[in-house]
Structure formats: structure tokens, C-alpha cells
Amino acid sequence: MPTKLLTRKSRAKRARHRALSREDRLESLPPTELRRRIDDAVSRFAAVIKKKTIKAA
């Protein structure tokens, strides 16, 4: 991260650009790989939620 503080606008622009390039990379993947990545992300997310609910209970 640069030491100079970024303005909110440039931060938003960079975030949007990052999201777009990420989507492009995902679209170039074969469907099986895409499905596997989605499953990985979902299971990771579920694990986090499970942990939080156990802590809360």
C-alpha cells in the first residue's frame, strides 16, 4: 500500500478495477474449475458462519 492516503474516489475506482479483472479471470476458467472454486468459497464461508454461531450460542 502506498504511504500516501488515497481519496475515496480513487479507492473506489481501484476496487472496481480489481473486481472486474477478477471476473475476467474467472470467466476464462473451465466450468469444472469454476464450480470447484465456488464450492471452496461456499464451504469456507459456511465454516466461518458455523464458528460464529457456535460462539454466539
Question: Taking 70 as the threshold, does the pLDDT of residue 19 lie above it?
Answer: yes
Whether 18 is covered by a domain: the verdict is no
CA 30, CA 24: separation in Å to the nearest integer?
12
- Residue-wise pLDDT for 33-45, tens only, equals 878 888 888 888 8
41 residue type, one letter? A
Decide if 49 is inside a domain: yes
Task: Please give the pLDDT value at position 5.
Answer: 65
pLDDT at position 7, please?
A: 73
How many structural domains are present in the chain?
A: 1
Q: What are phi and psi of 5, to 5 degrees?
A: -70, 135
- The verdict on residue 35 lying in a domain is yes
Cα–Cα distance, 48 to 54 (Å, whole number):
10
Full residue range of the structural domain in which residue 57 is found:
30-57
